[in-house]
Chains A and B, each alone.
Chain A
Amino acid sequence: MKKIHLVAGLLLAGAVVLLVISSSDLGTYYTFAEAELLEDDRNVKIIGLLSKDKEMIYRPEIDPNRFTFYMTDEAGEERMVVLLSEKPQDFEMSEQLVLTGRFRDGVFVAREMLMKCPSKYQDEEIFVRSEI
């Protein structure tokens, strides 16, 4: 066997080990119900839709890192969510939310959120020239 093959084999083995170790970083999207049952402190991701009719509270003067709103997950369950951050720009326009966080004391506490907003490419509306 060539030496280079030996090294290549070692490197590949290393890569496989890394792959196996880091595969524990992979998870599936959870629902609220599943996430609530978790016993460890792991952060999970939940996909859902913003409940636009429900209350959204952001009172920066009290706590600038606390924004609460309601989201309906893919199983159709609607829960209150606390986002440990400011209320993002154009939040009401979001179509889909991906939250990263975990349950604490019966409330889903999200540390990160990805918003999907309607893209202008999909916008069927034709902008009418404004009067101004």
Chain B
Amino acid sequence: MNEIQYIGETLWPGRLGHFLIITGFVAALGSTVAYYLAEKERDKTNSNWLNTANWTFTIHGISIIGLMGIIFYVMLNRMYEYAYAFNHVSDDLPFKYMFSAFWEGQEGSFLLWIFWHIILGWILIWKAGEWKPAVMTFLSLIQVWLTSMILGTYLPFGNGESRIGINPTVLLREVQDAPIFANAEYLELISGSGLNILLQNYWMTIHPPTTFLGFAACAIPFCYALAALWRQDYRGWLKPGLKWGLFASFTLGTGILMGSAWAYEALTFGGYWAWDPVENMSLVPWLIMVAGVHTNLIARSTGHSIRATMIFYILTFCLVVYSTYLVRSGILEDTSVHAFTEMGLENQLVFFILFFLILGLVMFFRRYNSIPTPQKEEDWNSREFWMFVGAMVIVIGSALITWSTSLPVTNAIMQFFDPFYASRVIEDPISHYNRHQLWVGMLMAFLTGISIYMRYRGANWEHYKKKFFSQTGVALLLTAVLTWATIQWIQVVAWQYILLIFAALFAFIVNLDHVLFRIKGNLKASGSAMAHIGFAMMIIGIMASGINKTYISSNVFAQSGLLEGMEDEDLLSNIVLIKGEPIFMRGYIATYVGDRFDGPERSFDIEFTRIDEDGREVETFMLSPNVIYDKQFTKIEAANPDIRRQPVIDIFTRIARLPAQQIDLESAREVEDSLKFETYYMSLGDTTFTSKHFVVLEEIHHSILHPEREQGSQEDLALSLKLKVHSLDSDSAYTIVPGISLRGSFVFRYPEQIDPFNLRVQLSDTLIEDLFHSEIALDYSTFLVERGETFEFGGYDIKFVDVNQDPWHPSYEPQTDDIALSAILEVTNRLSSAQYRTEPLYLIRDTRQTNYKTMIPEAGLHFRFTRIDPNTGQMTFKVAEQPMKVENLPVQIAENVPRTDFIVLEAIRFEGLNFFWVGSSLMMLGLLFAMIVRIRSKM
């Protein structure tokens, strides 16, 4: 086959991008070697390696940032010849989501991670001082591995499928095999698939960068620990290690919290944490990092726990990579809602983890015995003892989470050895994790409290112990009182939960006491207490919102179907709201008031009225969850909840389902096809019976009266029937105006649906044919008349009473610059003296004359106002007589039509959720404070 010369492709960004990837990779390798040599020659004054290494690292950085620039360029210009642009942007993607689209894909998020390492690396080059060459050796080594993830080089051996990394600048036709690429002008035909609508959210812009900054920051204490082992300088690194540890805890923690907030605000599962594997595996590195920060503090103050700090920092980084592996390898597909699918990077990621885990552990254990520990062991009455116990609790808790989360990995390993091994799975993840994390949280909270009252090294214990016991006693007493009050509010029964609340409140009181009375509000020293108070509040928030989470949208009177057991009652979370019909549900009356469109966004206004126990209305508020359709309104793409946030109570609502007709075109068509219309021939004034209803034809109009008629549309012909539909079973009746019209050569139908009757009415197409024929067949007579004159037509006297300057006609939509007039005609039947009034309309729009006819259906008269003579002031009217067909009009009626006027709603009431948000934010603030204070302090 000949090579195809493709037209319209821009190839230079791909070539430049590939060059930058190679440069970035080689420079990372080079800087690793150079920093290594610089460290080796640290004592030589004339060594130039450090300078070389800094430059090489900078070249690495510039290459990667340049590469990111190229990818942005390709995406911004919608160059769909590039796979990354094709997969992540589309023609209509707004600029504000360009960043989200950038890190939506695996390659982009790897680049984001590499980017942060570069920034942190530059900060280290600037600030790290004498630790620079050793620390940067390891950071550069990490960069080598990470950059290899975007290398996209195929290995020369194996089946030709094995490759290193995925190149983000590869062309679409190089990775996808499709017949369209036989066309040299394929680019004209394709369009990007765009950013997943669920990710078109401002959180997607800020959550990934923050989380990746956190991940990147976790590497720095790791590098310091390895540097310390290499140099056998076990104390000098503790100070910078602590600063970076605090920085990592702050950034990663904030990133995780943003994810929670996003989940609560924008996703539809109704919560902030679901123990999803992906969530867990970002939490675990953070927990170990926090444990490391605590042991680091101990090491700084007492010299104990240096080993533990090192091992924790090593573990943190390896867990970050492990987390990446779990998320990106596709192994979690069955158990997680937000894992990437397989991209062939699994093996490479496994080597990545093993490399650094083995490197770290080998270095650690080779030096194990030379790491100093104080001769005297920690006393049980010292702060460091209990802090260390706390750190161990965190690590054990993390180990339990990791073990459970790694179940898919153990399954895969077991199946490797035994193909018949049945995969194990957690049956109910939330209760499973809660079961062990309950105890971990309890111990952590308690230790957070008790260790504050201790002193480092148990200093002056004999003197101090009296104070310690009295303080603790008072705190315990206060805690008991507060626990009692909290239980009254939250309504807890399980003793384990009560114990957890007790522990959290103890931590709260002790730390508050510490801030208020010990350090007397000195902000500089309050970082840790702030974080601990936050932690305690967070637990209270978790307990309150978890225990008091109620589905208020459950209707206890609904058909229970298969259910006998009470336990499932809480699960029944959905309720049907019919437009305009208030429904009572667990303390609230909800009314679906109506819906409105804003572009593709359709919001549903639901009015809630809270009812107290005596049945009185307490308050009324409105919530508007929405759904988002795609651009062509062919289907719903996403649903967004709406939340009423109040200090204590949150009400969360989401649209669980809409009537089938409104979900997508296909369902709408299915419903349409399933309807069984029957044709009834109706005459004016007649009553027709269907199987469940009777219908009266009350009026015939020659215009469209249907409310959904587009503004400004001009029908050539139109017919509406005013029908009154009665139910056979009840007294209720509805008036509807189904219509049909002709515009040019198109027939427009205006069917009417009566949802409470499950009934749909439409007019038969043959009506328009009849009408069309009759208009042609009309034989108009022309009259020139002046104002006030009367003329004769058939058996009628027609008086031209006046001209109406402000005319109205059902088919006429006024526009500015229109010259529109109507003639007021009074028509009298000479025989019966019956009088009618009609106003045919004359219009000049854009120098064109037109007119809108009117009819007097009862008289069968048709009027047109066709001309005004500006010189004489005479008006021209055309009148024709044609008795209107008022008998045997075909009307099509379908019964048992599915309703379209309801929504399926899920509404959840959370209590005390703000304790969680305030507490967790306070925790982050505490970490930030501690970090700033440490960075500023000279010691």
The answer for the CA separation of A29 and B335 in the assembled complex, in Å, is 12
When the two chains form their complex, are residues B424 and A28 in contact, meaning their CB atoms are under 8 A apart?
yes
User: Is B396 on the interface with A (CB-CB < 8 A)?
Assistant: yes
- Please name all residues of chain B whose beta carbon is closer than 8 Å to the beta carbon of A71 when the two chains form the complex: none
User: Is A52 on the interface with B (CB-CB < 8 A)?
Assistant: no
- Please name all residues of chain A whose beta carbon is closer than 8 Å to the beta carbon of B191 when the two chains form the complex: 127-130
The answer to whether A19 and B558 touch (CB under 8 A), given A29-B422, A64-B657, A65-B572, is no
The answer to whether A45 and B656 touch (CB under 8 A), given A12-B396, A22-B435, is no
- Please name all residues of chain B whose beta carbon is closer than 8 Å to the beta carbon of A107 when the two chains form the complex: 562
- Please name all residues of chain B whose beta carbon is closer than 8 Å to the beta carbon of A79 when the two chains form the complex: none
When the two chains form their complex, are residues B193 and A127 in contact, meaning their CB atoms are under 8 A apart?
yes
When the two chains form their complex, are residues A84 and B425 in contact, meaning their CB atoms are under 8 A apart?
no
User: Is B392 on the interface with A (CB-CB < 8 A)?
Assistant: yes
Interface string of A104-132 (1 = CB under 8 A from B): 11010101001010011111111111101
- Please name all residues of chain A whose beta carbon is closer than 8 Å to the beta carbon of B341 when the two chains form the complex: 119, 121-122
When the two chains form their complex, are residues A114 and B337 in contact, meaning their CB atoms are under 8 A apart?
yes
**Which chain B residues in 384-434 approach chain A with CB under 8 Å?**
385, 388-389, 392-393, 396, 399-400, 403-404, 407, 422-428, 431-432
Selected from A47, A63, A89, A116, the residue in CB contact (under 8 A) with B639 is A89
The answer to whether A60 and B576 touch (CB under 8 A), given A28-B424, A104-B562, is yes
The answer for the CA separation of A42 and B571 in the assembled complex, in Å, is 16
- Please name all residues of chain A whose beta carbon is closer than 8 Å to the beta carbon of B439 when the two chains form the complex: 14, 18
When the two chains form their complex, are residues A64 and B180 in contact, meaning their CB atoms are under 8 A apart?
no
- Give the residue name and chain of the B residue nearest to A25 (CB): B432
Q: Which of B116-124, B157-165, B203-211, B896-904 contacts A (4 or more CB under 8 A)?
A: B896-904
Interface centre among A15, A85, A104, A111 (most CB of B within 10 A): A15
User: Is B189 on the interface with A (CB-CB < 8 A)?
Assistant: yes
Nearest CB on A from B898, distance (A): 7
When the two chains form their complex, are residues A64 and B574 in contact, meaning their CB atoms are under 8 A apart?
yes
User: Is B351 on the interface with A (CB-CB < 8 A)?
Assistant: no
When the two chains form their complex, are residues A3 and B425 in contact, meaning their CB atoms are under 8 A apart?
no
When the two chains form their complex, are residues A61 and B902 in contact, meaning their CB atoms are under 8 A apart?
yes
The answer to whether A65 and B558 touch (CB under 8 A), given A29-B423, A121-B341, is yes
When the two chains form their complex, are residues A61 and B899 in contact, meaning their CB atoms are under 8 A apart?
yes
The answer for the CA separation of A41 and B568 in the assembled complex, in Å, is 12
User: Is A75 on the interface with B (CB-CB < 8 A)?
Assistant: no
User: Is B470 on the interface with A (CB-CB < 8 A)?
Assistant: no
The answer to whether A127 and B190 touch (CB under 8 A), given A86-B574, A89-B636, A105-B562, is yes
- Give the residue name and chain of the B residue nearest to A89 (CB): B636
The answer for the CA separation of A84 and B439 in the assembled complex, in Å, is 32
User: Is A44 on the interface with B (CB-CB < 8 A)?
Assistant: yes
- Please name all residues of chain B whose beta carbon is closer than 8 Å to the beta carbon of A37 when the two chains form the complex: none
User: Is B691 on the interface with A (CB-CB < 8 A)?
Assistant: no
Interface string of A1-39 (1 = CB under 8 A from B): 011100110011011001101100111110000000000
When the two chains form their complex, are residues B656 and A64 in contact, meaning their CB atoms are under 8 A apart?
yes
Nearest CB on B from A118, distance (A): 9
User: Is A100 on the interface with B (CB-CB < 8 A)?
Assistant: yes
When the two chains form their complex, are residues B428 and A43 in contact, meaning their CB atoms are under 8 A apart?
yes
User: Is A50 on the interface with B (CB-CB < 8 A)?
Assistant: no
Nearest CB on B from A22, distance (A): 5
Selected from A8, A47, A89, A96, the residue in CB contact (under 8 A) with B392 is A8
When the two chains form their complex, are residues B562 and A109 in contact, meaning their CB atoms are under 8 A apart?
yes
The answer to whether A41 and B334 touch (CB under 8 A), given A29-B425, A86-B657, A121-B343, is no
Selected from A42, A82, A111, A125, the residue in CB contact (under 8 A) with B561 is A82
When the two chains form their complex, are residues B632 and A132 in contact, meaning their CB atoms are under 8 A apart?
yes
When the two chains form their complex, are residues A114 and B334 in contact, meaning their CB atoms are under 8 A apart?
yes
Nearest CB on A from B599, distance (A): 15
Interface centre among B337, B341, B388 (most CB of A within 10 A): B341
- Please name all residues of chain A whose beta carbon is closer than 8 Å to the beta carbon of B378 when the two chains form the complex: 3-4
The answer for the CA separation of A58 and B573 in the assembled complex, in Å, is 15
When the two chains form their complex, are residues B424 and A27 in contact, meaning their CB atoms are under 8 A apart?
yes
When the two chains form their complex, are residues A129 and B190 in contact, meaning their CB atoms are under 8 A apart?
yes
User: Is B377 on the interface with A (CB-CB < 8 A)?
Assistant: yes
Interface string of B237-267 (1 = CB under 8 A from A): 0000000000000000000000000000000
The answer for the CA separation of A44 and B424 in the assembled complex, in Å, is 11
Nearest CB on B from A6, distance (A): 10
Nearest CB on A from B347, distance (A): 18
- Please name all residues of chain B whose beta carbon is closer than 8 Å to the beta carbon of A15 when the two chains form the complex: 396, 399-400
Selected from A19, A109, A116, A128, the residue in CB contact (under 8 A) with B400 is A19
Nearest CB on A from B908, distance (A): 14
Interface centre among A7, A18, A64 (most CB of B within 10 A): A64
When the two chains form their complex, are residues B180 and A126 in contact, meaning their CB atoms are under 8 A apart?
yes
The answer for the CA separation of A63 and B904 in the assembled complex, in Å, is 10
The answer for the CA separation of A107 and B421 in the assembled complex, in Å, is 28
The answer for the CA separation of A24 and B146 in the assembled complex, in Å, is 39
The answer for the CA separation of A120 and B340 in the assembled complex, in Å, is 10
- Please name all residues of chain A whose beta carbon is closer than 8 Å to the beta carbon of B334 when the two chains form the complex: 47, 96, 98, 114, 116
Interface centre among A4, A104, A130 (most CB of B within 10 A): A4
- Give the residue name and chain of the B residue nearest to A26 (CB): B424
When the two chains form their complex, are residues A100 and B176 in contact, meaning their CB atoms are under 8 A apart?
no
The answer to whether A82 and B558 touch (CB under 8 A), given A11-B393, A22-B436, A25-B435, is no
The answer to whether A63 and B558 touch (CB under 8 A), given A89-B639, A127-B191, is yes
When the two chains form their complex, are residues B392 and A7 in contact, meaning their CB atoms are under 8 A apart?
yes
When the two chains form their complex, are residues A111 and B568 in contact, meaning their CB atoms are under 8 A apart?
yes
When the two chains form their complex, are residues A62 and B571 in contact, meaning their CB atoms are under 8 A apart?
no
Nearest CB on A from B489, distance (A): 29
Selected from A8, A21, A64, the residue in CB contact (under 8 A) with B904 is A64
When the two chains form their complex, are residues B385 and A84 in contact, meaning their CB atoms are under 8 A apart?
no
User: Is B333 on the interface with A (CB-CB < 8 A)?
Assistant: yes
- Please name all residues of chain B whose beta carbon is closer than 8 Å to the beta carbon of A7 when the two chains form the complex: 389, 392
When the two chains form their complex, are residues A4 and B385 in contact, meaning their CB atoms are under 8 A apart?
yes
Nearest CB on A from B447, distance (A): 11
Interface centre among A29, A60, A96, A105 (most CB of B within 10 A): A60
The answer for the CA separation of A4 and B189 in the assembled complex, in Å, is 70
- Please name all residues of chain B whose beta carbon is closer than 8 Å to the beta carbon of A42 when the two chains form the complex: 427
User: Is B559 on the interface with A (CB-CB < 8 A)?
Assistant: yes
Nearest CB on A from B245, distance (A): 21
- Give the residue name and chain of the A residue nearest to B578 (CB): A61
When the two chains form their complex, are residues A60 and B657 in contact, meaning their CB atoms are under 8 A apart?
yes
User: Is B603 on the interface with A (CB-CB < 8 A)?
Assistant: no
- Please name all residues of chain A whose beta carbon is closer than 8 Å to the beta carbon of B400 when the two chains form the complex: 15, 18-19, 22
The answer for the CA separation of A2 and B373 in the assembled complex, in Å, is 13
Selected from B193, B657, B899, the residue in CB contact (under 8 A) with A87 is B657
Nearest CB on A from B408, distance (A): 12
User: Is B565 on the interface with A (CB-CB < 8 A)?
Assistant: yes
Q: A104-B564, A126-B180 are in contact. List 9 more A-B contacts (CB 8 A).
A: A2-B377, A15-B399, A22-B404, A27-B427, A60-B902, A85-B573, A105-B562, A129-B188, A132-B632
| 6 chain-A/chain-B pairs, Cβ below 8 angstroms | A19-B400, A22-B435, A61-B902, A65-B574, A84-B571, A107-B562
* Nearest 10 CB-CB pairings of A with B: A129-B191, A64-B574, A25-B432, A28-B422, A86-B657, A86-B656, A18-B436, A65-B572, A119-B341, A64-B904
